[in-house]
């Protein structure tokens, strides 16, 4: 087949040029659209502060001596990294911030397979007190900071320690019973708002 004498091929070429021109126009328009989208995004990022401060949100739900440590250790360390940190305390986690109860956090001897005694023995009266006494002794011997020191340090370094209002009411606590510097009057929406923008979110 000889193409040079085929009139249909000629016309196909001509319409091909038209199609190319049209798609170049289309691409130009798309590039323009992307450019303006990019510049919108840039200004949105700038309006956001444009800084690279990392954020961490921890939800603290437990009020035993051992479970009070991880949120506070991570929170104070993250603050030392210059991160923006919120710890949202709810249910038994509130005890960590409670003026009186935070001084009496206990370790449970029951239901912990790492305890060097069977549950039947661990459930005897005062076994929680004994386990707590032993743990506190180990903490002191090891030079581990106390819960009290960690809370003070965290607050000093700008960590936002929040006490969930719904559970304050549920547990019959009063806002005044919490340590100075603790944020009260906050709920799930406040916690979520910070979590949505956080780089690290933890549930303890």
| DSSP conformation letters of 156-188 | HTT-EEEEEHHHHHHTT--GGGBPTT-EEEE-H
Among 82, 126, 137, 196, binds another protein (CB under 8 A): 82
Nearer to another protein, 69 or 173 (CB): 69
CA distances from 71 to 15, 61, 78, 161, 165 (A): 69, 10, 10, 10, 19
CB of 154 to another protein, least distance (A): 9
Task: Match 């210059």 to its residue by tokens.
Answer: 82
Site string for another protein, 107-146 (x = CB under 8 A): -----------------------------------xxxx-
Q: Which of 61, 77, 136, 201 binds another protein (CB under 8 A)?
A: 77
Assess 76 for contact with another protein (CB under 8 A): yes
Tell the smallest beta-carbon distance from residue 72 to another protein (Å).
9
Cβ 115 to another protein, closest distance in Å?
A: 22
Q: Is 98 helix (H, G, I), strand (E, B) or coil?
A: strand
Compute the distance between CA of residue 59 and CA of residue 84 in angstroms, rounded to an integer: 15
What are the CA-CA distances from residue 63 to residues 12, 67, 127 (Å)? 79, 7, 18
- Determine if 90 is a binding residue for another protein (CB under 8 A): no
152 to 191, contacts with another protein by CB under 8 A?
Answer: 153, 156-157
8 Å CB contact between 50 and 23: no
Nearer to another protein, 152 or 177 (CB): 152
- Return the number of the residue (40 or 156) whose C-beta is nearest another protein: 156
With CB under 8 A as the contact rule, which of the stretches 35-43, 69-77, 120-128, 161-169 interacts with another protein? 69-77
CA distances from residue 193 to 50, 55, 81, 136, 166 in whole angstroms, order as listed: 18, 12, 22, 36, 17
Residues that bind another protein (CB under 8 A): 73, 76-77, 79-82, 142-145, 153, 156-157
């Amino acid at each position: 087949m000889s193409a040079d004498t085929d009139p249909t091929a000629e016309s196909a070429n001509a319409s091909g040029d038209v199609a190319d021109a049209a798609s170049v126009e289309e691409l130009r328009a798309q590039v323009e659209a992307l450019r303006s989208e990019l510049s919108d995004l840039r200004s949105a990022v700038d309006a956001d502060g444009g800084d690279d401060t990392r954020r961490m949100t921890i939800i603290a739900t437990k009020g035993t001596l051992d479970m009070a440590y991880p949120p506070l250790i991570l929170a104070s360390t993250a603050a030392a990294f210059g991160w923006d940190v919120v710890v949202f305390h709810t249910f038994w986690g509130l005890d960590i911030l409670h003026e009186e109860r935070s001084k009496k956090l206990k370790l449970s001897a029951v239901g912990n397979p790492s305890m060097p005694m069977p549950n039947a023995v661990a459930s005897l009266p005062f076994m929680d007190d004994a386990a707590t006494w032993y743990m506190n002794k180990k903490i002191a011997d090891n030079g581990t900071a106390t819960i009290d020191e960690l809370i003070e340090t965290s607050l000093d370094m700008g960590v936002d320690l929040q006490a969930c209002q719904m559970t304050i009411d549920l547990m019959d606590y009063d806002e005044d019973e919490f340590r100075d510097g603790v944020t009260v009057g906050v709920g799930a929406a406040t916690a979520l708002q910070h979590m949505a923008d956080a780089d690290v979110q933890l549930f303890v």
